[in-house]
Amino acid sequence: MSIEKPLSFDAIIAAAETLKGIARETPLLESALLNEQLGRRLLVKPECLQLTGSFKFRGAYNTLAGLPAAQRAQGVVAFSSGNHAQGVALAARMFDVPAVIIMPADAPRLKIDNTRSYGADVILYDRNTEDREAICRDLSESQGLTLVKPYDQVSVIAGQGTVGLEISQQCHAIGVTPNAVFVPCGGGGLTSGVATALSTASPETQVVGVEPSDFDDTVRSLDAGERLGVAAGGASACDALLSPMPGEITFPILQARDVRATSVTDDQAFQAMQVAYESLKLVAEPGGAVALAAALAPTFADYAGIDPTSTVVAVISGGNVDADMFARALLRAKQDG
Amino acid sequence: MSIEKPLSFDAIIAAAETLKGIARETPLLESALLNEQLGRRLLVKPECLQLTGSFKFRGAYNTLAGLPAAQRAQGVVAFSSGNHAQGVALAARMFDVPAVIIMPADAPRLKIDNTRSYGADVILYDRNTEDREAICRDLSESQGLTLVKPYDQVSVIAGQGTVGLEISQQCHAIGVTPNAVFVPCGGGGLTSGVATALSTASPETQVVGVEPSDFDDTVRSLDAGERLGVAAGGASACDALLSPMPGEITFPILQARDVRATSVTDDQAFQAMQVAYESLKLVAEPGGAVALAAALAPTFADYAGIDPTSTVVAVISGGNVDADMFARALLRAKQDG
């Protein structure tokens, strides 16, 4: 790892080539009514429409594609609350190699079921008493499986960076240079990938990582200039974004690319799910909706230093949410609104 | 009107040219897991992602674009339960001309609110005691407004037919010839447009119109060989598909293009909404989901005469559904499933 050259733009271009005709090029959507209400142009990149319902498929497939064939044939292992799990499971299935996925027992039902449906061997662990990385390591050693990390791996970040590449190309096609791109931020794989892509493809664009307020480790780490963990005892419905600390590889990229970060409450995420539902007809999961939530916030210009009449892009990173939770979010946001 | 030459393929090509860069070219989506469960390939054309949240914008814009400028400047009038209303309202706004929309007082709140938000003057009427066509005629005469019909107008049907054109082009691009395309069917504008497009662009493809079971006028009319009305006293949550009889212009097209028709229950529509939610992360309204419901039905091969291992396309025609209803559909389908 090197801070000076953490991940090259060319690696993202190569990932885009690898994913061509395999991953979906998700469209860039907007709502005339929503733009009018906001007084600015808001473009949404719906990675909930990606294969497996989240952007995670991109990094997983790109990583498997880059493994030597003999090593890949032995199989892969991953730990994940659900979206990376599904991404790795589908990629493994496409390459017809085994996949073992370590998931927390309290992950959303839909994510566990789908991961199994893609043919992966799912091992559930207790988030409070067991160490997923140790389980993973044991499996990797005993069965010869290659670990596919959820974010702290260059091939994974390069795959996620293709989201940024597509945003720049799609904005260019409609003659727009976005002032900011808001990205849901857990371990920082998507945010650092998008920032790397845009720093070359759209250097005037500010990238903003968005976290749940109880898991604002990136906000605090960028402020402090070093990797800090989250405060103990936090909770959030954004199950995809519960990483305790920015990644070793991702964090220096965020710093080098001048990424900013902010956080939103779960209620703001639920309201953003309602906006995605009503204005764009999209299903967003809570963690998938945080960037949209930040882009919708009236004060977003303050923390991002962005002209309030500007054009912004928000990535909806995933849509894997149980029906009960989705219904609750819709009705809750409605009561509030 | 002529039965021999009801609507030309060239008119649809011209409509596509008119709509280029204006309407959205909606993608063709699928789910690997869903395909596996079904044992066939199911492609979904999500017109819920179209501007205004339904395909209706296509026909409305194409119609306004075709009016002489002086006539268009006087304004337009339409009657609609909501999707055509929004389509006409947005098209009128784009041309900066007035629009008056006659809507039933019991139309979904979201549809009424959105139509107003697009700047249209909305007049609510009582579905049981007032004649919307008479209200429309009076307005048309007194204010010089041009009527944009919801389906029984060639320029409208040509616009909706661009959905079929895109389906054929998108299928061609992935090397697939669909055995059948399922289309939600109310007055028959979308179904007759899609059938006209595909009869030239993909002649091996069977078009199947799908209705709510209490509003199966097209099923009965095609069986009888003449336009028949629905039985009295029917009810359905599919508010977009409550037309009482196939159109004068649309019906002969359905006959000439060998369209078949079938119907689904409201519960099947709710289950399809749940499938669109879970497998595709899309919001479908009840009427928008009926074609998907038919394509999901295990017995669909029987009524459509289609090889059960074939590739089929289902159009989701719209996604404008109130949050209460959507939440109910998700939880109801979940209980049943």
pLDDT reported for residue B2 = 37
Same domain for A210 and A132: no
Q: What chain B residue is nearest to A111 in terms of C-alpha separation?
A: B278
Of A148, A156, A135, A150, the C-alpha closest to A99 is: A148
Q: Minimal Cα–Cα distance from B260 to chain A, Å? A: 29
Same domain for A222 and A75: no
Same domain for B107 and B252: no
Q: What is the rounded average pLDDT for all residues in chain B? A: 92
Inside any domain, residue B135: yes
Same domain for B322 and B301: yes
Least confident span in A224-233, B52-61, B188-197, B328-337: B328-337
Query: Any idea what the CATH number is for the domain that residue A78 is in?
Result: 3.40.50.1100
Same domain for A164 and A29: yes
> Does the structure show a pLDDT above 80 at B271?
yes
ipTM for this model:
0.92
End-of-domain residue from the set A101, A118, A147: A147
Please report which confidence band the pLDDT of residue A337 belongs to, taking 50, 70 and 90 as the band edges. Answer: very low
Q: What is the rounded average pLDDT for all residues in chain A? A: 92
pLDDT reported for residue A3 = 39
Inside any domain, residue A136: yes
Inside any domain, residue B279: yes
pLDDT reported for residue B225 = 97
Q: Give the B window 73-112 contacts with A, CB below 8 Å.
A: 90, 110
Tell me, what amino acid is at A148? V
Nearest to A117 among B33, B49, B283 (CB): B33
* pLDDT tens sequence across B141-180: 899 999 999 999 999 999 999 999 999 999 999 999 999 9
B247: DSSP letter: -
Is residue B319 less than 8 Å (CB to CB) from chain A? yes
> Does the structure show a pLDDT above 80 at A6?
no
SS (H, E, C) A263-321: EECHHHHHHHHHHHHHHHCECCCCHHHHHHHHHHCCCHHHHHCCCCCCEEEEEECECCC
pLDDT reported for residue A301 = 52
Q: Determine whether the interchain pair B331/A323 forms a contact, defined as Cβ–Cβ distance below 8 Å.
A: yes
- Count the Cβ atoms, other than its own, within 10 Å of residue B192: 35
Please report which confidence band the pLDDT of residue A55 belongs to, taking 50, 70 and 90 as the band edges. Answer: very high
- Count the Cβ atoms, other than its own, within 10 Å of residue A198: 28
Same domain for B256 and B159: yes
| A303 or B252, which is more confident | B252
Of A308, A81, A271, A294, the C-alpha closest to A182 is: A294
Inside any domain, residue B2: no
pLDDT reported for residue A149 = 94
> Does the structure show a pLDDT above 80 at A11?
yes
Is residue A114 less than 8 Å (CB to CB) from chain B? yes
Mean pLDDT over B318-327 rounds to 95
| B308 or B193, which is more confident | B193
Inside any domain, residue A4: no
Distance CA B236, CA B293 (A): 15
The range of the structural domain enclosing residue A234 comes to: 9-55+153-336
* Residues of chain A contacting B115 with CB distance shorter than 8 Å: none
Mean pLDDT over B43-67 rounds to 98
> Does the structure show a pLDDT above 50 at A2?
no
* pLDDT tens sequence across A135-194: 888 888 899 999 999 999 999 999 999 999 999 999 999 999 999 999 999 999 999 999
- What percent of chain B has a predicted confidence (pLDDT) above 90? 80
Distance CA A243, CA A128 (A): 14
* pLDDT tens sequence across A58-97: 999 999 999 999 999 999 999 988 899 999 999 999 999 9
pLDDT reported for residue B109 = 87
Long-range contacts of B321-325 (CB under 8 A, 24+ apart): B321/B108, B321/B110, B321/B273, B321/B283, B321/B284, B321/B285, B321/B286, B321/B288, B322/B108, B322/B109, B322/B110, B323/A274, B323/A277, B323/A278, B323/A330, B323/A331, B323/A334, B324/A331, B324/A334, B325/B108, B325/B237, B325/B286
Q: Determine whether the interchain pair A331/B319 forms a contact, defined as Cβ–Cβ distance below 8 Å.
A: no
Same domain for A261 and A120: no
pLDDT reported for residue B336 = 54
Same domain for B311 and B219: yes
Inside any domain, residue A3: no
Same domain for B129 and B62: yes
Work out how many CB contacts closer than 8 A connect A with B: 78
Please report which confidence band the pLDDT of residue A308 belongs to, taking 50, 70 and 90 as the band edges. Answer: low
Is residue A54 within 8 A of residue A318, CB to CB? The reply is yes
- What percent of chain B has a predicted confidence (pLDDT) above 70? 93
| Overall domain count for chain B | 2
Same domain for B110 and B174: no
> Does the structure show a pLDDT above 80 at A1?
no
> Does the structure show a pLDDT above 50 at B1?
no
pLDDT reported for residue A286 = 97
| Global confidence as pTM | 0.94
Mean pLDDT over A233-257 rounds to 93
Same domain for B134 and B123: yes
Least confident span in A59-63, B80-84, B285-289: B80-84
> Does the structure show a pLDDT above 70 at B300?
no
Distance CA A88, CA A85 (A): 5
pLDDT reported for residue A303 = 53
Q: Give the B window 44-63 contacts with A, CB below 8 Å.
A: 46, 48-49, 51, 53
Inside any domain, residue B4: no
* Residues of chain A contacting B170 with CB distance shorter than 8 Å: none
Inside any domain, residue B255: yes
End-of-domain residue from the set A86, A120, A147: A147
Please report which confidence band the pLDDT of residue A306 belongs to, taking 50, 70 and 90 as the band edges. Answer: low
Nearest to A331 among B114, B281, B323 (CB): B323
Q: Determine whether the interchain pair B330/A326 forms a contact, defined as Cβ–Cβ distance below 8 Å.
A: yes
> What 3-state class would DSSP assign to A121?
strand
Same domain for B292 and B194: yes
Nearest to A283 among B51, B282, B324 (CB): B282
End-of-domain residue from the set A147, A166, A198: A147
> Does the structure show a pLDDT above 50 at A5?
no
Tell me, what amino acid is at B83? N
